Amino acid sequence: MRTPRITRSIGLLALTVSTAAIGVTAAEEGMWLPDQPPVDQLREVYGFEPSPEWLERCRKSAIRVSEGGSASFVSPDGLVMTNHHVVRGLLGKLSTADNDLVKNGFIARTRTEELPLPGVELDVLWEIQDITDQVNADVTDDMSPAEANNARRKARTRIEQESEERTGLVSESVTLYKGGAYQLYRYKRFTDVRMVFAPEEAAAAFGGDVDNFEYPRFCLDVSFIRVYEDGRPYHPEQYLRWSPSGAQADEPVFVWGHPGTTRRLYTVDHLRFLRDTQYPASLASIWRAESKYAEWASRSDENDRLVSSNLTGVRNYRKFVTGVQAGLQDPAIFDRKVAAEAHLRAAVAANPEWNAKWGDAWEQIAQAQDTYTEFYERRAALRMWSDLFTHARQIVRLADESTKPNTERLREYRDTNIPSIELELYSDAPIHDDLEAMKFAEYLGSMAERLGSDDELVVALLDGKSPRVRADEIVRNTTIKTPERRRQLVEGGIDAVSSANDPLLEFMRVLDTEDRRLRTRYEDEVEGVERDAYAKIAAAQFAVLGDGLYPDATFTLRMSVGRIIGYQEPGGFVEPFTNLAGLYRRRDLRHATPPFDLPQSWLDAESTLDLSTPFNFVSTNDIIGGNSGSPVVNRDAEVVGLIFDGNIHFLIADVIYDSTMGRSVSVDSRAIIEALRKVYDADTLADELTGR
């Protein structure tokens, strides 16, 4: 199957059924591959023809952040702009009980004060290559979906390894159209990254969880970091200039970033699985964690500091899933998906050749979801997010996987990915016993509830103790809290790990056996079937709808185009721009109580600021989680803003683009400069950005 050439501004399924429901203009849907920009659409709708230089500058300035966000080079000296909330977890790791960098912010007044960030990787996309044929080369007609999936997995690992050995660049194969095509992305990777500037969280996330995903907004959700190479600031091949004038309402703007995951290709049955199985389970976990973390945070100032980053993440994710789920539960939206699918299936059914090739794909997906429903809850119950847990799993799995040939390993333990794993595993970010013990107790209690206390795995993991006692025992007694010990274990290989006599590693070995069993079942009976079926559906779409399609988001570089434009809420029209005056007004309206209190710096600066400076704006750009920190650029490839959020109506973008009220939300470039100069007295940094 070929990768489609994008020649027309035709979006996904729903567009062919009801463009009326789309709002604004259907032209603005799309997360376009960087090597396939929608040139016709840009010319027809905006009269804009991107030059090769424009494309090259945007692409090579764009950065993927391993924390799960986006960023961009914005100076010749390797200065990188991203969101405060993208580096928030890193700031937390740099913090101490005496100096909470999340709360207090950070400014390096000189380059020597720039603070190394542990365990972060910045990737710049260097090359793209279509590898669809190579990935499918070993797949034969008589293979089962699981066998075919396995053959493709091996081919991808081999291709990646060969590429890394040949080019020295980080090489990742990417599955597009859920199996319709494969591309190889080569990245230049940077790991010496230092903190330059972060505002106080009260300014970056003004309005906190209350205003998250809302609009109007008033957030300086920006931070600057710097890339170093060989101990000196790195001079990037490309970087984005700062717009001297900023953007105007109605102006077309371009977002270059890394949308994480969308599910727009999902069939109706697959969406039902999300709506009725996956999201209810996710939400239950989220609410549980939110309640538990909030309670723990309330018990002391130190607890609050330790868990606040987790809590912010949980609340962010809760709002996100809630928003998508609200869309899925809305027949007005769901029925559009149903109608679009019916349209496509009818077209396929009407053509005997198509029907023979692709007609069974939807039923395949439906059956895969039924299968997954049988063990989804069990698999989900084994998941846990904590540093200690992740370290333990990596140690146990590295020991096992490193005994196998590269192509036989679990995908993430292929040779080319080991450096990333080790970077995180050997990070010297501190492990906090109390936080880890709380999370472990929570995890074990949750697992006991989800699987039942008499479940064999639960009984084995709890070892006859209560979740709290068992968690305490594991966390207090494990030896893997230092990077030195972790390295020693990994380098000692499977013998060292097996004989470590460490309660957490023993726990993890029991857990991982079951986890791997479920993963194998998933890959064979669900993922393999999906790959096979979605490849058929993608082919059907190209045949029926023409080839103006973009693939679902894959946390790889994409460009989206949109306009800065307000929207109509039931309560009135929402203007696209806010300004600095609005920040102080909202503070007053909410009595300056958290999360509507401002840090001292902003109280001191109020009288000196130009309060008419645009602060945040909304645009119709098609984004999703992972786009956080993406630069918003104008027709001259100049920075006019910084994506940091979507409004609540945008959340359904996970499965369908709808710009009736859905908008992405950015920090205006002018507010960044105004704040740097007048709130933070950071003229040097502002000068570097504006090229003075």
Q: Give residues in contact with a second copy (CB under 8 A).
A: 209-210, 272, 275-276, 279-280, 283-284, 286-288, 290-291, 294-295, 298-299, 301, 318, 325-326, 328-332, 334, 445, 448-450, 452-454, 462, 464-469, 591
Which has the closest alpha carbon to 46: 241, 330, 254, 326? 254
Least spacing, CB of residue 290 vs a second copy, in Å: 5
Runs of H (alpha helix) within 632-681 = 669-678
* CA dihedral angle for residue 624, residue 626, residue 631, residue 636, rounded to 10 degrees: -60
Q: Which residue, 358 or 567, has its beta carbon nearer to a second copy?
A: 567
Least spacing, CB of residue 202 vs a second copy, in Å: 15
Least spacing, CB of residue 586 vs a second copy, in Å: 12
Residue 7 corresponds to which tokens in the numbers above?
């020649």
Q: Which residue, 242 or 334, has its beta carbon nearer to a second copy?
A: 334
- Cis link prior to 595 (omega < 30° from 0)? yes
Least spacing, CB of residue 561 vs a second copy, in Å: 29
Q: Which residue, 174 or 469, has its beta carbon nearer to a second copy?
A: 469
C-alpha 145/C-alpha 368 separation (Å) is: 11
Least spacing, CB of residue 128 vs a second copy, in Å: 39
C-alpha 23/C-alpha 261 separation (Å) is: 23
Residue 659 corresponds to which tokens in the numbers above?
């710009």
Count of CB atoms situated within 10 Å of the CB of 546:
13
C-alpha 131/C-alpha 365 separation (Å) is: 25
Q: Which residue, 77 or 377, has its beta carbon nearer to a second copy?
A: 377
Least spacing, CB of residue 659 vs a second copy, in Å: 18
Least spacing, CB of residue 447 vs a second copy, in Å: 10
Q: Which residue, 314 or 396, has its beta carbon nearer to a second copy?
A: 314
Least spacing, CB of residue 291 vs a second copy, in Å: 5
C-alpha 539/C-alpha 179 separation (Å) is: 10
Q: Which residue, 201 or 401, has its beta carbon nearer to a second copy?
A: 201
Q: Which residue, 321 or 535, has its beta carbon nearer to a second copy?
A: 321
Q: Which residue, 276 or 681, has its beta carbon nearer to a second copy?
A: 276
- How far is C-alpha 181 from the chain's CA centre? 21
Which has the closest alpha carbon to 348: 587, 133, 533, 543? 543
Residue 436 corresponds to which tokens in the numbers above?
């880890």
Q: Which residue, 290 or 422, has its beta carbon nearer to a second copy?
A: 290
Q: Give yes or no for a contact between 255 and 630, defined as CB atoms under 8 angstroms apart.
A: yes
Phi first, then psi, for residue 53 (nearest 5°) are -65, -40
Which has the closest alpha carbon to 226: 88, 105, 112, 127? 112
Residue type (1 letter), 43: R
What is the DSSP secondary-structure string of 579-612? EHHHHHHHHHHTTT-TTS---HHHHHHTTTS-TT
- How far is C-alpha 344 from the chain's CA centre? 30
Least spacing, CB of residue 18 vs a second copy, in Å: 17
Q: Which residue, 252 or 313, has its beta carbon nearer to a second copy?
A: 313
Residue 403 corresponds to which tokens in the numbers above?
């005994």
Query: Who contacts 141 (Cβ-Cβ below 8 Å, separation ≥6)?
Result: none
Q: Give yes or no for a contact between 590 and 584, defined as CB atoms under 8 angstroms apart.
A: no
Least spacing, CB of residue 527 vs a second copy, in Å: 23
Least spacing, CB of residue 577 vs a second copy, in Å: 23
Q: Which residue, 211 or 552, has its beta carbon nearer to a second copy?
A: 211
First to last CA, the chain: 50
Q: Give yes or no for a contact between 77 and 66, defined as CB atoms under 8 angstroms apart.
A: no
